[in-house]
Structure 1
Amino acid sequence: MNRLPFFDNARLILIFLVVFGHMIQPFATDSQLINSIYAFIYIFHMPMFILLAGFFAKGIGEPKYILKLAKNLLLPYFIFQVIYTGLYLLLGREDVYVGILKPQWAMWFLVSLFSWHILLILFKRFPAYVGIPLTVLIGISVGYVDLSSFGLSLSRTIVFFPFFLAGYYMNKEHVVMLKTKGLRIIGLIFAVVLFVFIYSSINIDVSLDTDWLTGAIAYRSLEAEISGSLMRLIIYVLATLLIIFMIAWIPDKNYGYLTKLGQNTLYVYLLHGFIIQPLREFDVLWYDRWYETFIFVIFSALIVLVLSSKPVVTLTRPLVELKWKK
């Protein structure tokens, strides 16, 4: 498939949000502004990342394709699971070893991405108007079961699968159709109103507010056995709307070097923890004033630029892609 600048631009923006979200996370319980930004980002940034992954999953079903997926996703998972465990031990966090089946920090995405491709073999047999609502229903229902003891990011895999399936059904024409001035204006207004609502209603003393957005926690643990299904449905709707508006806003123009960096988002995703985790452990970062948020923005952008640069990609390709040359 010929690369479209829109998708690389979108990936670059989304990986920046991933890094930025992880950087500000330690301060989410200290600042109403940071907590609101964190919650707003987490409503849509991973669902949209997953949607884009589904868009490029058109070839699933052939045995060679599945073997290639296992090599490209599961082997790096095992490698980085070991490396991150070693990092945590070096940082003095000896209680972090949870076994190979329970992903360390952000490694859940690799396991879930492989699982979504496998699930797609079954669900692509349904038309979109059947498959997507069905997976949403399953995603809502799974909240009544505590799957944390099973490992392998099982709950997140099920909860976020509707976005992957929607991405599979999406085509270039859908992207073009959404890129209208009207949607951009509506999206901007909606985003501002939603952020103001989050800022005015979120409780920074209660982590349950943002735990809803991870897809990893059962309703009982969120103290919402009755209202949990409605809350998850609302999050599905909000994520879908924000994704639509993001598609409308993200440019489809080729910005040369910057757009090309969007091809290396997996490197940023896997490697940025080696920067973020030591910064957290040694309290290098701080937050006292609202304008210091821009420091996190700049620092996150620098991390993305460095980790997606050609020297870093060349150096770490044997770990990420299990090959020496591109």
Structure 2
Amino acid sequence: MERNAYFDNAKLMLIFLVVFGHVIQPFVDGSQGMNTLYLWIYTFHMPAFIFLSGFFAKGSGNRKYITKLAQKLLFPYMIFQLIYTGYYFLIGKDGWQLEMFYPHWSLWFLFSLFSWHILLIWFKKIPAAMGLAISVGIGLIVGYFGEVGHTFSLSRTFVFFPFFLMGYWLTQNQVMWLKQIQLKAAAVVVMMAVAVGIYFAPDFNTGWLLASKSYSTLGLPEYGIIARLLVYVTSVLMMASVLAWIPEKRSRLTVLGTRTLYVYLLHGFFVQFFREADLFAVNHVIDLLGLAVMSALIVLVLSSRPIQGIWQPLIEGRMSILKNKFMHSRKQEQQYGENA
């Protein structure tokens, strides 16, 4: 079956926003406009990414499935924990010390993705509405426990799980329902309203969108549950609004949407170096556009076929690209020898 271009286009757009969001993060302090853009992106880009991960999570829960899942997610997690530890040490970044179950930076997603698949074994046996309600309830309650934090990526696992479960239960036709012209018009209103709300909101803590801290740490030990519920509603509306505008047609860049894991795991080498070296500044809109172009180039490079071939053994645990390249070269040599 041919892949649906819509979903690959969505993944490509979202991975660009992941990179762009990480690139502009050092410049949000002191600039209300940059802070608004940063928070606006974070209201939906990871929820949407997680939603799409759930949409394609159609496996079973047998031992073979779990073993394959561990090889696909936990193997690169452990490898890149070691790699990033060494890299952070080399560039002089604080907090480089290795703690295997305290995910470095963006690696939390791999650990949580494995956990969501395991949770799905039980949740898919529950009626969809009931399961979603339970998962949201857990995501709301977990904020009261300070012990559930960054270690094992537990907080993010529980808080973001409803988006994964939502993706699992929704069908392609239901997602495409967002493409109606009336809903696309409403989506523009929602996206603009959220941007305006963020711009005028008093000191909104990014921790509410990152989902890795307790309510007490975020300054609302009693009423944090209300704030998180509002964040859930905002993220769902923003996710639906953005997905409504994803193009359905295949383009030359669509194939890059199949290689987002490479970009996700590797872009940290660029971003962390830029931060430690303090290479850039944003003093004008042209600077911001330059960072956007640079982010796009990082996505293009890291999703290229040569990069995929080099890193495939560590990310996917196989060498099919290099083997095919080797076999193709051998075949060309044989043909050349026969024609000589």
Note the alpha carbon deviations across 1:72-92, whole angstroms, 9 max, x for none: 100000000000000110012
Structure 2 spans left out of the alignment, 5+ residues: 322-340
SS in 2 for 1:135: helix
For residues 207 and 177 of structure 2, what CA distance do their matches in structure 1 show?
34
Higher RCO structure (Cα 8 Å, ≥6 apart): 1
Q: Percent identity?
A: 48
Aligned counterpart, 1:73: 73
Structure 1 spans left out of the alignment, 5+ residues: none
Structure index of larger Rg:
2
Aligned counterpart, 2:249: 253
Aligned counterpart, 1:50: 50
For residues 85 and 60 of structure 1, what CA distance do their matches in structure 2 show?
34
| TM-aligned CA deviation for residue 197 of structure 1 | 1.5
For residues 263 and 237 of structure 1, what CA distance do their matches in structure 2 show?
29
Note the alpha carbon deviations across 1:278-317, whole angstroms, 9 max, x for none: 1110001111123421111111111101100111111111
Aligned counterpart, 2:297: 302
| TM-aligned CA deviation for residue 150 of structure 1 | 7.1
For residues 95 and 228 of structure 1, what CA distance do their matches in structure 2 show?
29
For residues 190 and 150 of structure 1, what CA distance do their matches in structure 2 show?
31
For residues 17 and 43 of structure 1, what CA distance do their matches in structure 2 show?
11
1:220 matches 2:237: no
SS in 2 for 1:64: helix
| TM-aligned CA deviation for residue 95 of structure 1 | 3.4
SS in 2 for 1:95: coil
Runs ≥4 in structure 1, deviation > 4 angstroms?
A: none
| TM-aligned CA deviation for residue 318 of structure 1 | 1.1
Aligned counterpart, 2:270: 275
Note the alpha carbon deviations across 1:241-299, whole angstroms, 9 max, x for none: 111112211011111x2000000000000000011111110001111123421111111
Q: Kindly indicate whether the alpha-carbon contact (under 8 Å) linking 1:52 and 1:164 is maintained by their aligned counterparts in 2.
A: yes
Aligned counterpart, 1:97: 97
For residues 8 and 127 of structure 2, what CA distance do their matches in structure 1 show?
28
User: What is the TM-score with the length of structure 1 in the denominator?
Assistant: 0.95
SS in 2 for 1:274: helix
For residues 184 and 94 of structure 1, what CA distance do their matches in structure 2 show?
44
Aligned counterpart, 2:206: 210
SS in 1 for 2:206: helix
| TM-aligned CA deviation for residue 202 of structure 1 | 4.3
1:229 matches 2:212: no
Instruction: Say how many residue pairs are matched.
Output: 321
* Match runs of 1:87-236 below 5 Å: 87-93=87-93, 95-148=95-148, 151-203=151-203, 209-236=205-232
Note the alpha carbon deviations across 1:57-83, whole angstroms, 9 max, x for none: 111312211111100100000000000
Change in CA separation of 1:214 and 1:267 when aligned onto 2, cut-off 3 Å: same
For residues 290 and 76 of structure 1, what CA distance do their matches in structure 2 show?
37
Which residue of 283, 290, 308 corresponds with 2:285? 290
Q: Kindly indicate whether the alpha-carbon contact (under 8 Å) linking 2:150 and 2:213 is maintained by their aligned counterparts in 1.
A: no
Aligned counterpart, 1:25: 25
Note the alpha carbon deviations across 1:148-207, whole angstroms, 9 max, x for none: 56711000000000000001001111122221111111110111121011112243xxxx
User: What is the TM-score with the length of structure 2 in the denominator?
Assistant: 0.92
